[in-house]
Amino acid sequence: MTMSFSEFTQQDYEVIARDYADLKEAAMKRCTNQGEMDVVQKAFEFANEAHKGVRRRSGEPYILHPIAVAKIVVTNIGLGYKSIAAALLHDVVEDTDYTVDDIRNLFGDRIALLVDGLTKIKVVLDNDAKAGSRSIQAENFKRILLTLNDDVRVVLIKLADRLHNCRTIEFMPEYKRDKILSETMFIFIPLAHRLGLYEVKSEMENIWLRYKEPEAFNDITAKINRNMTDKEKEIDEFITPISTALTNAGFNFEIRKRVKTAYSIWHKMVTKGITFDQVYDLYAVRIIFTPDPHATETERDQCYHVFSIITDIYRYKSDRVRDWVKHPKNNGYEALHCTLMSHSGIWIEVQIRTKRMDDIAEKGIAAHWAYKKDGFVGENESEMDKWISKVKEILVNPDVNALELLDIIHNDLNTSDIFVFTPKGEQKRIQKGATALDFAYSIHTHIGNTAIAAKVNMRLVPLSYVLKSGDQVEIITAETESPKREWLQFLQTRKARNIVMDYLKGERNESIRRGRKMLEDQLAALGHKMNDEIVRKLADRYGIPDNPDEMYFRIGLGILKLNDLDNLARPAGPKPKQWLSWFLPKGKKGDFVINDEGGTSHRYVIASCCNPIPGDSVVGFLGPDGTVTVHKKSCAVANDEAAKHGDRIVVPEWEEAMQSSFLVRLSLKGFDRIGIINEITRYISFVMSVNIRRIDIATEDGVFEGVIDLYVHDKKDLDKLMKKLVKIEGIQNVVRTDL
């Protein structure tokens, strides 16, 4: 964040003293003795003097930022005095004349190492890419993750730093906001999730939504507040008999109420194509108990005991039981979830946790290691350690470039696991979506290489069969078999794909020739001739710039799909009647180009992945040929692009509406009745004067479901149309979905 210098006022000193007093109070609960508190005090005094007179872009004293980061470190993550001190000192080396050696002399080796790691991360993240450079942000994230090799606390403090930067993001220019929020969604939020930092993850997600989809955020937040006010009494009435029953059973417990976050509701609405009213598990009740150390039941059995007590009181939804006590998530999360029907008729999710489980759920890896250090060994306590070891293994692989690494880590962070069984009943963990062949390679390389088929639950299936949790899997092999190129079309796990690719490298030259020919033929079929510009564009898209042979090799193996070739090959030209401007003065129309502040003209295209329309929040990316591609801010493709190439972000603005039309898709659900389809189409075409491009609606057992593709002028017209359609008798749900 940009800084300035000016003398502090008395009010500034009072604010600093107040914020540090809050931090000190939190730190005293975590520090074990006065000596540790003395280190925190010394770090504050040193940082306070080093940042004296320096202000953030917001105008507040700069020292308030390290204090806030340190408070997140102790309160939200639960780290100790060395991490608190490092958080207070994390910007000193980069922003002042002090060195890491100065920190070492004053605070010792470990705090100096933490500060050094944080300084290196800050340097690369703040060093915006120069024109023409590629993948600098991918290299930056590699540097961040490499600190896992030294001390994972560096990553945890960095997450605290990123959270506070998100909290104060309103003071940044819009292009910088888009870069930071996209980085946050692409890597920091999944990283917080994998490290078990629920509070940090949830707050980052909500901030992302507030700026990427402000209308949706405000609408959902208002509905949450209204609903909680309306349902407060019902939830209290739901809790009362549970509380009585647990007390009578002798449990030492507390019960907390919560509602889903705005982001989690929005995400469910978008991914499932439903409205706010159809998100039925809005409310949750959390039962946190301290296990009886003298009981004959284990910690896990006591969770099941609580479950049996509450399901004697309320009916539960059997398909919504989630047993993460027996099978914890791969971020260490343990709890027993169930969804109960209250006597007043609302579904309420109940989460059952012990105090230890709750600490790990809220504080993540820091609590996990604290319990491990205290001698508590959970049945699945090593999952976090296994993941960190796996990340380290990826990081030191010389064959993985930075962009590939970023995609591997991103995919891994967002991948959940399932459990399957060997023929002898041994339980194995494997990523969701994995195939029988992935399972074969997870057992042993030789079994994978010689696999010919599989038996799943005693039934013969192909190697491409996608496994489900609980499957029993037997691999059938033949010694004469060997890896096939087509296996790469369906293998999901990195380990399996790498083994097959290594095996096939002996055929590299043939694969390069085949890949080049495939690209040439597909371009010719589309009416284009292969040239250096097309090859460069493709290589850049796939994250392997300046290495066309590697690209041909992967195309030849079938790893890279030649999607959207026509758009890539077509010379970027003006699109008539588009009406965007980038920093364009009001009143001046941008029919064919986007102008930047210096008056330079840029061609632009509307991204086909999200099809933004006037009124949507949008972000643009400046391509190597000067063309700007415009996406919705919440588009997953845009977030990936901004996370990898933040230097290409531009800020488009919608101009005053011209008479142009944009294609959108509406999904409808409801109860069938005679004439309802005619009523829908008549209203769209004649009342709203909207042109329908395609309608596809099917009816079964009195319920209809389908999509309508139509052309609208802007988001305001679309919102008006949707509100009118949902009022038609029989229509239950109208949502905008991707084309």
Residues labelled as active-site residues: 94-95
Phi, psi (degrees; rounded to nearest 5) at 531: -145, 175
> How many Å apart are CA 398 and CA 643, to the nearest integer?
23
Q: Is the dihedral of CA 294, 296, 300, 304 positive or negative?
A: negative
> What type of residue sits at position 428?
K
Which tokens belong to 594?
A: 């986007």
Q: How far apart are the first and last CA of the chain?
A: 38
The number of beta carbons lying within 10 Å of the beta carbon of residue 465 is 20
* 675: β partners: none
Contact 557, 511 (CB under 8 A): yes
Which tokens belong to 100?
A: 């890491």
Which tokens belong to 73?
A: 């470190």
Contact 279, 265 (CB under 8 A): yes
Phi, psi (degrees; rounded to nearest 5) at 315: -75, 140
Pairing verdict, β 731-737 and 427-431: unpaired
> How many Å apart are CA 196 and CA 194, to the nearest integer?
5
Residue with tokens 């340190």: 70
> What type of residue sits at position 116?
D
Cα–Cα nearest to 619, from 659, 598, 592, 646: 646
> How many Å apart are CA 93 and CA 585, to the nearest integer?
42
**E strand or H helix at 210, and its extent?**
helix 198-212
Residue 329 DSSP SS3 = coil
Beta-carbon contacts of residue 621 (< 8 Å; ≥ 6 apart): 628, 629, 631, 638, 641, 642, 645, 648, 649, 650
Residue 490 DSSP SS3 = coil
* 708: β partners: 666, 695
Cα–Cα–Cα angle for 59, 63, 69, nearest 5°? 110
Residue 304 has, within 13 A of its CA and on its CB side, a CA count of 8
Q: What burial class does residue 322 get, using C-beta atoms within 10 Å of its C-beta: 0-12 exposed, 13-18 middle, 19+ buried?
A: middle
> How would you label 235-271 residue by residue, b for 16+ Cβ within 10 Å and e otherwise?
beebbeebeeebeeeebebeeebebbbbbbbbebbbe
* 731: β partners: 670
In the 8-state DSSP scheme, what is residue 441?
H
Phi, psi (degrees; rounded to nearest 5) at 655: -85, 175
Cα 549 from chain centre: 33
* 636-642 LR contacts (CB < 8 Å, sep 24+): 636/609, 637/607, 637/609, 637/610, 638/182, 638/607, 638/610, 639/182, 639/185, 639/186, 640/182, 640/186, 640/410, 641/182, 642/178, 642/179, 642/181, 642/182, 642/183, 642/186
The number of beta carbons lying within 10 Å of the beta carbon of residue 646 is 22
Strand segments, DSSP code E, in 609-701 are 618-622, 628-632, 649-650, 652-654, 662-671, 691-700
